[in-house]
Structure formats: structure tokens, C-alpha cells
Amino acid sequence: MIKGFKDFLMRGNVVDLAVAVVIGTAFAKVVESFVTVIMDLVGKLGGTPDFSSFKPGGVAIGGFLTALVGFLVVAAAVYFMVVVPMNLLAERRKSGVEPEPEAPSEEIIVLQEIRDALRVR
């Protein structure tokens, strides 16, 4: 039973998922700090640190606007740091020049000549 569990954990999918979670957690902290910087800049322009107190017509939509700005920053970060590089990599692989086959070695050439000579018989 322990061996089966070990085999399950060592499968490529589980290990890849574990790496993705660790990197994703670290990336989330970087993006969070970037959102904080962006919200500070927006706050300087708007006069408040965020939109949480924004209530046009008595409707409290400030929290939603703050979350929306945060989402847009996260989406842009993911797009430019993950999607664009992956698309470029896929495009390079797709349009990449196929490597030319290697020239056969002397042994292969001799073997082909022997094969051709035997066919003639």
C-alpha cells in the first residue's frame, strides 16, 4: 500500500502539480504587491487609497471596483508573464525548421551496398 502511494506521488502529474502550486503561491505574492502599488497610484489620482468608500447614489460599489482593478492587474500579469511566452514558444516549435537528417555513416553506406548487391542476385 505504501509503495502504491509512493508511485502515485512520483507520477509526473502530481509532481508537476506540486511545483505549480509552489510557484503559483510565490507568484501570487508578487502580483499582490504589484496590485498594492497600482492601487496606491490609483489612490493618488483619486484621493483615496482604494474605492471601498465610493458610493455613487448611495450604492456601495467601491469594494467591487477595488476587486475589479485587482483582478485586471492579476489577469494582465498572468497574460504577459505566462500566456504570451507560452504562445511564443508554441509558435517557435510550430514554425521551427526541421533538422536535416544526418548523412549516413560509412558503415551504413557499405551495408546498403551489400543489401543492393544481394537483391540483384
Report the CATH number that the domain containing residue 16 is assigned in CATH. Answer: 1.10.1200
Question: What sign has the CA pseudo-torsion 40, 42, 46, 52?
Answer: negative
Among 44, 33, 24, 20, CA closest to 73: 33
Q: What is the dihedral of CA 103, 105, 108, 113, to 10 degrees?
A: 80
DSSP 8-state class, residue 75: H
pLDDT tens by residue, 12-36: 677 777 878 888 888 888 888 888 8
Task: Name the pTM for this structure.
Answer: 0.51
pLDDT tens by residue, 59-88: 878 788 888 888 888 888 888 888 898 888
Q: Which domain holds residue 6?
A: 2-120
Domain count, the chain: 1
How many residues does the structure list for the chain? 121
